[in-house]
Amino acid sequence: MKQPNRVKAAMRAGRKAYGYNLSFPSPWVIDILGKLDFDFVFIDGERGPFGLDQLEDLCRTAERLDRGIMGILGPHIATEADARQLVQACYFGPLGERSFGANRGTDYNAGIADKAAYYHEANEEMLVCALLEDVAVLDNLDAILAVPGIDLYSIGPNDFAQSLGRPGHPDHPEVVKTMQEITRRIRQAGRTMQAEVMQGAWVSDMLLDAGRRILST
């Protein structure tokens, strides 16, 4: 492995990891913010306008700055089957079914003398997060939490509100109460919420805030 997973290192050290969230493709943003000591950059590949080539460029830029993309946030994890599919896709065996390819992520298969050791180290440094944003989670949460290999859990308030029949109202008392109950059950099971470990800000918000400050002077 080229570098350790800084989020997992922060978890082991008992501190919070700090980063930023990118909703549009811009390697220049990663290049500029790489001059600061952020632990992670979260790339919103579910909703953002990212093509595969652009994701590759963003990953390459992050790795050059010693901040490789080494974690996955799986959206809409609503059942045990969803959770198992997420784990299987993220880990090499025996934990999962991730495929090894002779491409950039594995140094084009050059210099890896012991693939078994590589698989083990890659699994150790992989951060797997489950995003819970469907009402079905209420009935399936215990089974989801029983799936090994998931490090962190998060709740998507907007999609969760829609799933509860409250579209556009993530602050509705029913939605808030339900999310609090899910959070309580996760912690009661000895699991960790993503917000307890990772704190990030959207780059778009940073730009808008800076623009407002300029306009207000």
111: left (phi over 0), alpha (psi -120 to 50) or beta: left
122: left (phi over 0), alpha (psi -120 to 50) or beta: alpha
107 — pLDDT class (breaks 50, 70, 90): confident
Which pTM was predicted? 0.85
Mean pLDDT within 140-152: 98
- CATH of residue 104: 3.20.20.60
What confidence tens digit (pLDDT) does each residue in 51-99 have? 888 988 898 888 766 444 689 999 999 999 999 999 999 999 999 999 8
Cβ atoms 79, 144 nearer than 8 A? yes
d(CA 168, CA 102): 44
Rounded-to-5 percentages of helix, strand, coil across the chain: 50, 15, 40
At residue 65, the pLDDT reads 62
For the chain, how many helices (H) and strands (E)?
9, 6
Would you say residue 18 lies in a domain?
Answer: yes
Would you say residue 49 lies in a domain?
Answer: yes
Residue 161 has pLDDT above 90, yes or no: yes
* Tokens found for residue 104: 């950039």
Would you say residue 171 lies in a domain?
Answer: yes
Domain that holds residue 103: 6-215
At residue 89, the pLDDT reads 94
d(CA 85, CA 90): 9
Would you say residue 1 lies in a domain?
Answer: no
Would you say residue 197 lies in a domain?
Answer: yes
Would you say residue 54 lies in a domain?
Answer: yes
Residue 151 has pLDDT above 90, yes or no: yes
Would you say residue 199 lies in a domain?
Answer: yes
The helix (run of H) or strand (run of E) holding residue 18 is strand 17-22
At residue 1, the pLDDT reads 55
Q: How many domains does the chain have?
A: 1
Residue 148 has pLDDT above 60, yes or no: yes
* Tokens found for residue 177: 């109460």
